[in-house]
Chain A
Amino acid sequence: MSEQSKTHFGYQEVDVDDKAGLVAGVFHSVASRYDLMNDLMSGGIHRLWKRFTIELSGVRKGHSVLDIAGGTGDLAGKFAEIVGAEGRVVLADINESMLNVGRDKLLDQGKVDPLSYAQADAQYLPFADNSFDCVTIAFGLRNVTDKDLALRSMLRVLKPGGRLLVLEFSKPTNDLLSKAYDAYSFNVLPKLGQLIAGDADSYQYLAESIRMHPDQETLKEMMLEAGFEQCEFFNMTGGIVALHRGLKPW
């Protein structure tokens, strides 16, 4: 097997063709308790990170938004309120279980009108060129097998001048925080996973996949290489999470 056909699955090296299936296994397993676990894992701070993402999205009434790896619909639900009935929000996720949980949650909240759902792979987005004013992917990019391919696919579906926002775990900027965060991720997190979702392995994978994800500068470079411009990132909570933003050139 050549080196190009290998990729990371957490700290393990796996065949490229196998990664999507392994990631799918993780999310099928955690889907039903995903919201609860996110709250527990981040102490509820993930809501603040998402709130800031919405502030920087610049989404307005009537806009068209694609939320990739939208999972349980936190961002899509808020975008639906902002764009109103004349806008369009597509919640996309590669994972059927996550998409079902997200759709049920949004329907239960009475959010119907501008929302539609698509089971889609971020690398091969099934949408026409220049379709969206804004594309977001929150805590999803690190699970994608070929991130460059996914970034180019997102660029294609964005309208010229449209924004891509990537919210993802990143590298803490402070050494002490980094050590505390490591200790938490590898000792506490899998135990929490075992306790709440009955699945320590999946949460072990989440912690490992975060460490294998490109750091702030690398991801910014990847976005520039994919063809985005005015790329910038904003560290949040000491760099535990970073929000990257790039514009599709006119």
Chain B
Amino acid sequence: MVDLTKFDPTLNVALLGAAQEAINRALQYAPHTQAKLAQLEGQSVQATISEPDFTVTILLGKTLELRSVYEDKVNASIEGPLREYLAAAAAEDPAIGLINGNLKIRGDSRLMQSLQGVLSELDIDWEAPIAEVLGDVAGHQIGKALRGLFAWGKHSRSSLERQLSEFIIEEARLSPSKLELEDFYRDVRKLQQNIDRVEARVKRLVRQRAG
């Protein structure tokens, strides 16, 4: 919870206001997501970030409302340091990253699952806002080009990741492969077990000698 007595809300309110405006504008071009969100009308999720301290409450509905202060009970809450949120956002599927990461999630798990579904299906129709400005023909052409660009970007990112990992592991030998690592971990575990056994044996011998 925000310590209201020490909190100058101007900046938070400005950031959240701008974010709310941007999100709601983008949602207009994702009608499927907007319809799903409309089904969650009246429910609320609070995200608390520690290091640095920041709290936002999201009131769900056809349009989202982001609040810096919300004193009523929320349906679900997420809590954790900023790096965990960033890790979740950088995950291949942010929604799964959110659930499986090290963030503390409390409250209505069904609501969180619904939100996970909404996030993973998010698909913004870039063609619509362009067509509004430039007309249908140009909008369609540019939208097509943009979709191609995004798909190419996604493909090249995964292809680049694969090639980079091959180079690091196989060519430059900067990092061991997954199999080598598993072998190494198995050896470490075996060594640990042997040490435990020796320790137990030494203790037993010491006791026998003392007895």
Q: Does A26 contact B (CB under 8 A)?
A: no
Count, chain A residues at interface, CB 8 A: 16
* A:13-60 near B, CB below 8 Å: 45, 47-49, 51-52, 55-56, 58, 60
Cβ contacts under 8 Å, B9 to chain A: 48, 52, 55, 234, 236
- Whether A235 is near chain B, meaning CB under 8 Å from some CB there, is yes
B185 vs chain A, min Cβ distance (A): 50
B13:A51 contact, CB within 8 angstroms: yes
Separation of A45 and B17 alpha carbons in the complex (Å):
11
* B92 partner residues in chain A, CB cutoff 8 A: none
A232 and B6 alpha carbons, distance in the complex (Å): 12
Q: Is the CB of A55 within 8 A of B10?
A: no
**B69 x A55 contact (CB < 8 A):** yes
Chain A residues with CB under 8 A of B14: 45, 48
| A48, B10: Cβ atoms closer than 8 Å | yes
Residue with the greatest number of chain B CB neighbours at <10 A, chosen from A47, A55, A235: A55
Q: How many B residues touch A, CB cutoff 8 Å?
A: 15
Any chain A CB within 8 A of the CB of B180? no
Name which residue of chain B comes closest to A173, CB basis: B8
Q: CB within 8 Å of B: which of A194-250?
A: 232, 234-238
In the assembled complex, B72 has its CB within 8 A of some CB on chain A: yes
Q: Is the CB of B4 within 8 A of A55?
A: no
Whole-angstrom distance between the Cβ of B4 and the nearest chain A Cβ: 6
Are A234 and B7 neighbours in the complex by a CB distance under 8 Å?
A: yes
- Chain A residues within 8 Å of B7, by CB: 234
Chain A interface SS verdict (over half):
helix
Bound together, the chains give a CA A236 to CA B13 distance in angstroms of 11
Whether A51 contacts B71 by the Cβ 8 Å rule is no
- Does A52 contact B68, Cβ atoms closer than 8 Å? yes
| Cross-chain contact A238 with B8 (CB below 8 angstroms) | yes
Can you spell out 20 A-B residue pairs with CB atoms less than 8 angstroms apart? A47-B17, A48-B9, A48-B10, A48-B14, A51-B13, A51-B17, A52-B69, A55-B13, A55-B69, A55-B70, A58-B72, A232-B4, A234-B4, A234-B5, A234-B7, A234-B9, A235-B8, A236-B10, A237-B8, A237-B10
Contacts of A238 in B (CB 8 A): 8
Instruction: Evaluate whether A55 and B8 lie within 8 angstroms (CB atoms) in the complex, with A48-B13, A48-B14, A48-B17 already known.
Output: no
Which of A49, A56, A235, A237 has a CB less than 8 Å from the CB of B69? A56
Complex contact B8–A236 (CB within 8 A)? yes
CB closest residue in chain B, given A245: B4
> What is the CA–CA distance of A5 and B71 in the complex, to the nearest angstrom?
43
> Cβ of B71: which chain A residues have Cβ within 8 Å of it?
56, 58
Give the distance in Å from the alpha carbon of A48 to the alpha carbon of B9 in the complex.
Answer: 9
B62 within 8 A of A: no
A49 adjacent to B10 (CB under 8 Å): yes
Residues of A within 8 A of B72 (CB): 58, 60
Interface string of B58-81 (1 = CB under 8 A from A): 000000000111111000000000
CB within 8 Å of A: which B1-32 residues: 4-5, 7-10, 13-14, 17
Q: How far is the CB of A241 from chain B (nearest CB, A)?
A: 9
- Cβ contacts under 8 Å, A58 to chain B: 71-72
User: A51 to B7, alpha carbons, bound, how many Å?
Assistant: 15
Q: Which residues of B contact A47 (CB under 8 A)?
A: 17
In the docked arrangement, what's the CA distance between A186 and B70, Å?
37
